[in-house]
Chain A
Amino acid sequence: DADVTQTPRNRITKTGKRIMLECSQTKGHDRMYWYRQDPGLGLRLIYYSFDVKDINKGEISDGYSVSRQAQAKFSLSLESAIPNQTALYFCATSETQNTEAFFGQGTRLTVV
């Protein structure tokens, strides 16, 4: 089993719908991150969390919200999806700010 698991792996949704992407980890890390990947732009940080009570906005948080339900779970929500949120989304974890980040396999989201 993967250390960082994202569900679903692929999703197509309609404009205006609410959608949640889920991430769970078995590494016991406190720090979790959500990134989105767009062609030619690399990965950009959406939100990050240092523990269940500490959630912070990244560089592109508009249109997104997150929930840290437990140390192992960090969900990303799109309250009202729009086509320019079509992207590949990655969850990542790290033990500390100076240690390796581990990534999930990604969720490919298409908003039509």
Chain B
Amino acid sequence: GNSVTQMEGPVTLSEEAFLTINCTYTATGYPSLFWYVQYPGEGLQLLLKATKADDKGSNKGFEATYRKETTSFHLEKGSVQVSDSAVYFCALRLSNQGGKLIFGQGTELSVKP
């Protein structure tokens, strides 16, 4: 079946530290991949996406590269800020599934000053 697995949280970092949140997927076909962010008390917002192998999505200093050979889409940021504290969700979408998103379990990030 189709699924997404993320590294477990919570992840606690100091400000300006390097961030990696691992995400791997299993999919029948060729999915599009997404990272969503959920700030406290809010809904999910699209952070970045990649629609085919080797694409790199980027936004707000975050990056993720679609790696077909390792079925991965790891999220990285070179220098995190306190304002990056949130829950991050990796997700996939298959083109023949009507736009449904399949989410990982979410990773909570806490950045301390």
Contact = CB atoms under 8 A, between A and B. Distances in A.
A109 B36 CA distance: 22
Contact of A96 (B6, B49, B99): B99
A50 interface: yes
B98 interface: yes
Interface stretch (A14-22, A60-68, A76-84, A99-107): A99-107
A81 to B, nearest CB: 22
Nearest to B5: A42
Interface in B19-48: 32, 36, 41-46
A105 B38 CA distance: 10
Main secondary structure of the interface of A (DSSP, over half): strand
Interface stretch (B55-63, B67-75, B78-86, B102-110): B102-110
Nearest to B101: A101
B43 A104 contact: yes
Given A42-B89, A90-B44, A106-B43, A101 B106 contact: no
Given A90-B43, A100-B46, A103-B44, A42 B99 contact: no
B33 to A, nearest CB: 13
B43 A42 contact: no
Interface string A1-14: 00010000000000
Given A42-B89, A45-B100, A97 B43 contact: no
Contacts of B95: 97-98
**B89, B98, B105: which has the most chain A beta carbons within 10 Å?**
B98
26 contacts: A31-B99, A33-B101, A41-B105, A42-B105, A42-B106, A43-B44, A43-B89, A44-B103, A45-B100, A48-B100, A58-B100, A92-B44, A92-B101, A97-B93, A97-B95, A98-B95, A100-B46, A100-B49, A101-B46, A101-B99, A101-B101, A103-B36, A103-B44, A103-B45, A106-B42, A106-B43
Interface of B: 4, 6, 32, 36, 41-46, 49, 89, 93, 95, 97-101, 103-106
